[in-house]
Amino acid sequence: MSKGTGAPAAPEAAATGRVTKWLVGIAAVAMLAGLLFGYDQGIIAGALSGIEKDFRPSTLVIEIITSWVTLGALAGALVAGTLSDELGRRRTIILAAVLFAGGAVIEAAAPGSWVLLVGRLVVGFGVGVASVAAPLYASEMAPPRLRGAFVSMYQLAITLGIFVAYLGTQELAAADFSWRLMLGLSIVPGILLAVAMFPLPDSPVWYMKEGRRKEAAKTVHDMRPHADVEADLRAITDGLGTKQVSWGEVFTRTWRKPLMLGVGLAILQQLTGINAVIYYADRIFAAAGFQSAAAQLTATTWSIGAVNVLLTFVAVAFVDRLGRRPLLLWGLVGMGVSLVAMGASFQWLDDGAVANATAAGQPTTTAIVLLVAMMVFIGSFAFSLGPVVWTVINEIYPSTVRGRGVAVATAANWGAAWIVAQFFLSLTTWIGEGPTFYLFAAMCVVSFAFVWFLLPETKGKTLDQIQQMWLGRVEGGAGAAPTN
Ligand code: BGC
């Protein structure tokens, strides 16, 4: 597929924004970036026991191997903002893919813990860069009415990646060198991402920022052959203002509101506990009476992994029809209620029963209540906070500061993910499992208020209209009342 050879779409397809073969390419990029993010999130739990056997690392080193990938991602996300503005979205994504694949090779070949750690950091860095650049690219390339669906596909792929990682853990657990294979396999999405990105153009927004009008026009035309190219480019130029922006501009008063919304949502997505459940599901099931490792893994794979994938489809289907706000608000209700149920099942149900049933190899009532509650939790996250937070982060910033704004919000997301991964287990030993889940539930209440009072609806608006909203020129600006 070369840049200019895209077959023209049927006129009505262009008019309605129906998916052309170029858009399939962009969807593939978003999906592959999500896949490598998710696979990486999901696989480490399964790889750990093999690593422990081979390297006998201290507990501290194990924690570092698990969680520093997140710190690498945080650094990658921060740098990615500048990279996607300076190098362009396309080259940044290719760089991320190469880093990710290279890191996977280092991990798989590591002779000891410290080289493994270097591999983890490189992989993390690649994931972080991709987690900014890929959804940003998708949101700038997608027609407005499909933008939510495109960015949600990124989330869908994250969930698929996690699910594949869980399945892989089950399948590969018996093989020799299994952990090397588990980690090394992530080279596949890395290479595919580079290959998928290679023939695609950069986004028109970036070309215009660079003063490369001809390429911008050609890209708009290739993507939507019947679009009014001049009008599109004018809208982009209007949105751009000056070409070079500094970090200072990202933090100016004008953009404080979208910055605060993006960063706030990014942090709340993590502080409501999703990764505590993803990373530590096996242990949570063990604590609730699922006795064997196999039983824990099966419960995790299907109740967490599969439900996460399935319910994300709901968001892909409805985020552009129902809007961002209703999905977020309903999802938060489901998450809050199920977290309270999880807390209660840990706290109030009989611990003696857990011990007896565990000895008899039977799941306890606690286990069953917990299983259902966890499924409701993950399902509610999957159609709301998971995809919608990424969608909103990638559409609310004005084009001048978009790369850097998305980077700050994404880095905040990784930072919060690191805090949860690092402290969740300590918190459960310190205040107990029940109260820990109540704490996550309390964060759902905070998030509900945040969305209800502060987040305006952005469904169906062009990126330019959203930008105008912050300047108070279009209805639905700051502090808009709920619209759905
Ligand atoms: C979050 C990840 C999480 C995943 C679960 C994403 O939106 O950012 O931290 O692991 O969803 O599906």
What tokens does 190 get? 């890395």
Residue of the CA atom closest to atom 8 of ligand 1? 386
pLDDT in tens, 39-86: 988 888 778 878 888 888 887 787 788 778 888 999 999 999 889 889
**CA–CA separation, 423 and 442 (whole Å):** 17
Q: Give the pLDDT confidence score for residue 59 in this predicted structure.
A: 76
Ligand 1 atom at minimal distance to the Cα of residue 158: 12
Q: Given a cut of 50, is residue 479 above it in pLDDT?
A: no
Q: Given a cut of 90, is residue 21 above it in pLDDT?
A: no
Percent of the chain past pLDDT 90, that is, above it, reads 39
Residue of the CA atom closest to atom 11 of ligand 1? 386
Q: Given a cut of 70, is residue 423 above it in pLDDT?
A: yes
**pLDDT higher for 152 or 387?**
387
Residue of the CA atom closest to atom 3 of ligand 1? 275
- Residue 452, CA distances (Å) to 124, 387, 429, 469 in order: 33, 18, 34, 17
Percent of the chain past pLDDT 70, that is, above it, reads 87
Site residues for ligand 1, CB cut-off 6 Å: 41, 155, 158-159, 162, 269, 274-275, 278, 308, 386, 390, 413, 417
Average of per-residue pLDDT values in the chain: 83
Task: Give me the mean pLDDT over the 348-363 stretch.
Answer: 56
pLDDT in tens, 210-244: 888 899 888 888 877 777 888 778 877 766 654 45
Residue of the CA atom closest to atom 12 of ligand 1? 159
**Mutation to probe ligand 1, out of 131, 158, 312 (largest number of atoms < 8 A from CB):** 158
Q: Give the pLDDT confidence score for residue 478 in this predicted structure.
A: 40
**Mutation to probe ligand 1, out of 278, 316, 419, 424 (largest number of atoms < 8 A from CB):** 278
**Mutation to probe ligand 1, out of 155, 160, 383 (largest number of atoms < 8 A from CB):** 155
Ligand 1 center to 384 CA (angstroms) = 11
pLDDT in tens, 313-333: 888 888 888 999 999 999 999
Q: Given a cut of 90, is residue 357 above it in pLDDT?
A: no
Ligand 1 center to 274 CA (angstroms) = 7
Other CB atoms within 10 Å distance of the CB of residue 214: 8
Q: Give the pLDDT confidence score for residue 147 in this predicted structure.
A: 81
Task: Give me the mean pLDDT over the 137-163 stretch.
Answer: 86
Q: Give the pLDDT confidence score for residue 354 in this predicted structure.
A: 53
Where residue 12 falls among pLDDT bands split at 50, 70, 90? very low
pLDDT in tens, 371-412: 899 999 999 999 999 999 999 998 898 877 887 888 899 999
Q: Given a cut of 60, is residue 484 above it in pLDDT?
A: no
